[in-house]
């Protein structure tokens, strides 16, 4: 049973007269805590450049989600090491550059699949979101953030849309991105979550659940799809794009002796990426050896061959759940 207290009624934005109101994207943390917070469960804290970060906590762990880009910047199950890699403390770049680490939201295009001159991985990660609502019970703490088309979004993409990202902490971290076409014309979407999963050493990792999947390799652009056999041992830089036949995958981190389980829905592919030593130098955030400390395992829909058209009024949902399982075999 979800808690339905005075807090809960405030948290859903009920103004008391039938009108639903939401705090603006630039609301201060005091206002957000008053309207949507719950002591020790849902707390808004400031970060640099006045960007609020919401902290979700309960008996199972903690997570932090920045309201700029709706980017998850930390997840730590109780009694276990951090699950996500952040190369430096979170700080919004004044120029709106991409922030590496955590779990960025990629929408309405993935990688460099937008219009010529557009930024990588869409527009959602470069915009300020607002709070739609929050909710908690004994076993879950949850926040929902929203983003709508605006004059700023129309500068880089001409369509009207509405996004909602629901993030929750229970025995796992769950993210659900709901996209609705509010335009009068259909539009085409590629998308994905881009989790940077923390590991002790990339060369001691492997991805399970890709056996039998067709894949392409960005290191071999001239070679068409092939079938992968067995687990994928991550030993080189670049991306492998797997056409998923099931949506349950595991990153085995033999260095930290844990498994990071990832379940998804709404994606057509799984992208496994690490920059490698050769490419990591292009990203100052990573430093000389940061590339060794993460593997990205990304539930995504990439490319015009698998992207989808969203007609006016239609909604699509992409869901990802992450759970850390230590070597002892108990869920975190």
Please choose, from the candidates 57, 261, 64, the residue with its C-alpha nearest in 3D space to the C-alpha of residue 139: 57
**Vertex 96 angle, CA 93 and 97, to 5°:** 75
The two three-digit tokens of residue 276, written as one number? 């490698």
The two three-digit tokens of residue 95, written as one number? 């120029």
Please choose, from the candidates 191, 173, 205, the residue with its C-alpha nearest in 3D space to the C-alpha of residue 273: 205
d(CA 250, CA 211): 12
> How many independent structural domains does the chain possess?
1
185 is a domain residue:
yes
Please choose, from the candidates 224, 201, 200, 226, the residue with its C-alpha nearest in 3D space to the C-alpha of residue 212: 226
331 is a domain residue:
no
Q: What is the pLDDT of residue 4?
A: 33
17 is a domain residue:
yes
* Residue 332 CA: distances (Å) to CA of 8, 125, 250, 255: 27, 28, 14, 17
110 is a domain residue:
yes
138 is a domain residue:
yes
3-state secondary structure 155-209: CCCCCCEEEEEEEEECCCEEEEEEEEECCCCCEEECEEECCEEECCCHHHEEEEC
Q: What is the pLDDT of residue 95?
A: 60
Q: What is the pLDDT of residue 6?
A: 29
1 is a domain residue:
no
Q: What is the pLDDT of residue 23?
A: 52
CATH number of the domain bearing residue 270:
2.70.98.10
Q: What is the pLDDT of residue 24?
A: 57
Please choose, from the candidates 281, 291, 280, 242, the residue with its C-alpha nearest in 3D space to the C-alpha of residue 262: 242
**pLDDT tens digit sequence for 275-331:** 998 776 677 777 778 999 999 999 999 988 999 999 999 999 999 999 999 875 444
115 is a domain residue:
yes
332 is a domain residue:
no
Mean pLDDT per 10-residue section of the chain, whose length is 332 residues: 34 42 67 96 90 96 96 96 92 72 97 82 94 96 98 95 98 98 98 98 97 96 94 96 95 96 98 88 77 97 94 98 78 39
Domain with 186, as residue range(s), is 6-326
Q: What is the pLDDT of residue 289?
A: 87
């Amino acid at each position: 049973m979800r808690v339905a207290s005075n807090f809960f009624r405030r948290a859903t934005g009920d103004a008391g007269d039938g009108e639903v109101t939401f705090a603006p994207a630039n609301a201060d943390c005091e206002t957000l805590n008053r309207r949507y917070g719950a002591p020790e469960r849902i707390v808004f804290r400031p970060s640099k450049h006045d960007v609020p970060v919401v902290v979700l906590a309960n008996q199972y762990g903690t997570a932090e989600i920045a309201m700029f880009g709706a980017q998850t910047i930390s997840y730590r199950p109780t009694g276990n090491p951090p699950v996500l890699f952040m190369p430096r403390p979170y700080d919004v770049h004044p120029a709106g550059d991409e922030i590496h680490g955590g779990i960025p939201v990629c929408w309405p295009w993935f990688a460099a699949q937008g219009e010529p001159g557009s930024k990588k991985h869409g527009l959602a990660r470069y915009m300020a979101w607002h709070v739609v609502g929050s909710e908690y019970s004994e076993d879950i703490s949850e926040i929902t953030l929203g983003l709508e088309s605006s004059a700023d979004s129309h500068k880089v993409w001409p369509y009207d849309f509405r996004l909602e990202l629901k993030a929750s902490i229970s025995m796992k971290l769950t993210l659900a991105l709901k996209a609705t076409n509010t335009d009068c014309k259909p539009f085409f979407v590629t998308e994905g979550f881009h989790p940077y999963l923390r590991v002790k050493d990339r060369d001691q990792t492997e991805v399970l659940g890709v056996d039998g999947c067709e894949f392409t390799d960005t290191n071999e652009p001239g070679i068409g799809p092939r079938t992968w056999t067995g687990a994928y041992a991550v030993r080189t830089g670049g991306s492998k794009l797997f056409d998923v036949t099931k949506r349950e995958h595991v990153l085995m981190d033999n260095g930290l002796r844990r498994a990071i389980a990832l379940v998804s829905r709404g994606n057509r592919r799984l992208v496994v990426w690490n920059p490698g030593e050769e490419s990591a130098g292009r990203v100052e955030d990573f430093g000389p050896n940061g590339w060794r400390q993460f593997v990205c395992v990304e539930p995504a829909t990439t490319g015009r061959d698998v992207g989808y058209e969203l007609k006016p009024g239609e909604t699509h949902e992409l869901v990802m759940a992450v759970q850390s399982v230590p070597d002892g075999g108990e869920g975190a």
